[in-house]
Structure 1
Amino acid sequence: MPVPDEARIRAFRPGDEQGVIDLILPIQREEFGLAITAADQPDLRTVPAFYQTGRGAFLVAESGNRIVGTIGMKDIGEGNGGQGNGGQGNGGQGNGGQGNGGQGNGSARSGALRKMFVAADHRGSGSGLAGRLLHAVLDLARENGLHRIFLGTTDRFLAAHRFYEKHGFMPVPPADLPQSFPRMNVDTRFYRLDLPE
């Protein structure tokens, strides 16, 4: 099997939409058997408005004239990682109080990592493209002032689970996701990464 050309990572630009869809949909449908369409993922047709606003980004990896990798970072604002179940207390004279509300580590600017896909012929330790895409978008996240990254995936993406955990992401329960986190119906497993400041 020939070694694929080194893919160049760059920002998404107008005209990339169909190449992004042509990469992502077959992986979702054929490799993982997900009953999902482009219509179920309107962000694929509105990448600049959905991802490339605020502190977000969307990167593609291009080899020749073909998009062979994608990764998106959506700015989801002040995400505190869950709402918890604290509360107002009982309002007594000295022992009422606010409760801790399960707010985690205070408000931090958060991002949602989405749409990380690599073409089959560019996967594996030989190319390192998945790692390059992840590091590129995390570097941008740091530069743009994001401190906490969340992601969702399906139970079927076992290699993705290992990949994210290898890169420092920790599994979190759905209750620990910020309210602004954009969930997809197929997502059943969630992760969080705290970026060093």
Structure 2
Amino acid sequence: MNNSPILKEYSNEYQAEVVDLILAIQQQEYNIKITKDDQPDLFTIEEFYQNGNGNFWVALYGDKVVGTISLLDIGNQEVALRKMFVDKEYRGAKYKTASLLLNNAIKWAKEKSIKAIYLGTTPQFLAAHRFYEKNGFKSVEVTDLPEKFPVMKVDKIFYKYSVE
């Protein structure tokens, strides 16, 4: 089998696996006190993410969901990068899952003439901070976020990627 996962736009057939993957990483790997009830968007992905300039993708290795990423349309040709998660076994140079997901989202943003991608993350995700910075995201203050950016209670660190 090819070492690279394949990316597909989200459809409901992946919902259970998406929820399981995200919760396992948040709760077990990073010990973040967040539940599925705190994330109702996970149960309305098509309605919540896949409209306007937004979308949601899954990375599949075989028929297993090994990663997720989404862009949430927040208006004004800006999007929020959300739900970027990669199974521990599929991180790093061997599979390049995170890079595939991020590059796909950036390509989508360019095609949609998006001006900027914003994201919020938790202090625990140190490898994610390095990954975003390495890929051209610049640290911004919470006060620099667009008015419609959805700040999650666990997010304390914020980034902006200028698409243009």
TM range (shorter): over 0.9
Counterpart residue number, 2:32: 34
Deviation digits for residues 2-47 of structure 1 (CA, Å, limit 9, x no counterpart)? x984311010012211110111101001111101111101111111
Whether 1:125 aligns to 2:93 is yes
Counterpart residue number, 1:168: 136
Deviation digits for residues 116-147 of structure 1 (CA, Å, limit 9, x no counterpart)? 01111111112111001000011011111211
Question: TM-score scaled to structure 1, two decimals?
Answer: 0.81
- Does the 8 Å contact 1:68/1:119 carry over to 2? yes
Counting matched residue pairs gives 164
The alignment's C-alpha RMSD in Å is 1.3
Query: After TM superposition, which residue ranges in structure 1, 4 or more long, deviate above 4 angstroms?
Result: none
Query: Unmatched 5+ residue regions in structure 1?
Result: 79-108
Give 3-state SS (helix, strand or coil) of 2:158's partner: strand
Counterpart residue number, 2:4: 6
Greater radius of gyration (CA): 1
Whether 1:147 aligns to 2:115 is yes
Whether 1:183 aligns to 2:151 is yes
Question: TM-score scaled to structure 2, two decimals?
Answer: 0.97
Query: Unmatched 5+ residue regions in structure 2?
Result: none
- Does the 8 Å contact 1:55/1:145 carry over to 2? no
Counterpart residue number, 2:106: 138
Deviation digits for residues 86-120 of structure 1 (CA, Å, limit 9, x no counterpart)? xxxxxxxxxxxxxxxxxxxxxxx100000001111
Distance 1:5 1:138 in 2: 22
Counting only pairs closer than 5 Å after superposition, residues 16-95 of structure 1 correspond to structure 2 as: 16-78=14-76
Counterpart residue number, 1:90: none
Distance 1:65 1:49 in 2: 24
